[in-house]
Amino acid sequence: MGVAGLLAAVVVSGAAAGAVFGAVTQALAVPHIEAATLAEAQALAGAGGGAAFWAGYADYRAWQGAGAMAASMVLGCAFAALYAAVYLAYGHRLPGGAAARAYALAGAMWVALYAVPAIKYPPALPGEGSAETLGARVGLHAALLAISGGSAIVLHRASLGSRWPRRAIYPAAWAITVAAAVALLPGHPDGAGEGAAWEFRAASAAAVAAYWAALPAALVPLARRLGGWEPPLRGRG
C-alpha cells in the first residue's frame, strides 16, 4: 500500500465530501441561520441602527460566508482521517463487499457522532444560548459524543471473535449505554437548541448525512487508485 497515495486519497476525498457538506448546508440550513442572525442584529441595533451598523453587518456576514466552504473542507479532511483509521482497523470485520462495508461504517459514524449527540443537544441557531454558557454547552456535547463514539469502538472490539446470536449483545449494550448517557447528562444550561425549528434540525442532519454519504463514495475509489488499497483489508484478525 502506498502511504503517500492513501494520505492523498484521504485529503482529497475529505475535502470533496466537506464541499458537499458545505453546499448542502448553504442550500438548506443557511437560510434559517440568516433569518436568526438578522433577527439578532435587529434586536442589537434597536432604534439606533443606522447605515454604518448595517454596512458592518453585511461585511461581517460576507466574511463568514466566504470562509464557510473552506472551513467545511478542512473539517471534512479531519473526519476523513478518522474514518480511514477506523476503516483500516475494523472495516474487514463488517459484512458485505468493499462498498457495502464502507457505507455501513459511514452510516454507523453518522449515528454515533452526530445523531446521538443531536438527540440530547440539537443544533442551535444564532441567538440561542448566552456566551457565558458556551463552554459548558460545548463540554456537554463533547462528553456525549465521546461516550457514543468511544463505547461503540470498545464494544466492537469486545465483540470480536463472538458469533451470532451472542454478538447481538454488543449493539444492545451500546444502545443501553447511550440511552443512559442521554438520560443522565444535564441539558444545556440555558436551553440552547430547544427552540430551533424542526426544519433547521432536519437541514443540519441532512447536511451531515450528505457528508457521510459522499465520503466513502470518494475515498474507496481514490484509495484504490492512489494508494493501492483494495478495501476491505484481508487477512487481519
Give a three-class secondary structure readout of 182-232: HHHCCCCCCCCCCCCCHHHHHHHHHHHHHHHHHHHHHHHHHHHHHHCCCCC
Written as nine digits, the cell of 131 is: 456566551
Note if the bond before 189 is cis, omega within 30 degrees. no
Amino acid at 96: G
- Residue 192 pLDDT: 54
- Residue 199 pLDDT: 87
CA torsion sign, 79 to 217 to 233 to 3?
negative
**Percentage of the chain modeled with pLDDT above 90:** 46
128 DSSP assignment: S
- Residue 44 pLDDT: 72
Instruction: Collect all residues with Cβ–Cβ distance below 8 Å to 45 and sequence separation of at least 6.
Output: 53, 54
Instruction: Find out whether 19 and 86 touch, Cβ atoms under 8 Å.
Output: no
Instruction: Collect all residues with Cβ–Cβ distance below 8 Å to 157 and sequence separation of at least 6.
Output: none
Spatial separation of the C-alpha atoms in residues 36 and 19, rounded to whole Å:
24
- Residue 220 pLDDT: 87
- Residue 160 pLDDT: 80
pLDDT < 70 positions in the chain:
1-2, 46-49, 191-196, 227-237
Measured in whole angstroms, how far is the alpha carbon of residue 179 from the centre of its chain? 19
| CA-only gyration radius of the chain, Å | 21
Angle, helices 51-90 vs 30-45, to 10°: value is: 140
- Residue 231 pLDDT: 52
Spatial separation of the C-alpha atoms in residues 27 and 21, rounded to whole Å:
10
Spatial separation of the C-alpha atoms in residues 233 and 216, rounded to whole Å:
15
CA torsion sign, 89 to 94 to 98 to 102?
negative
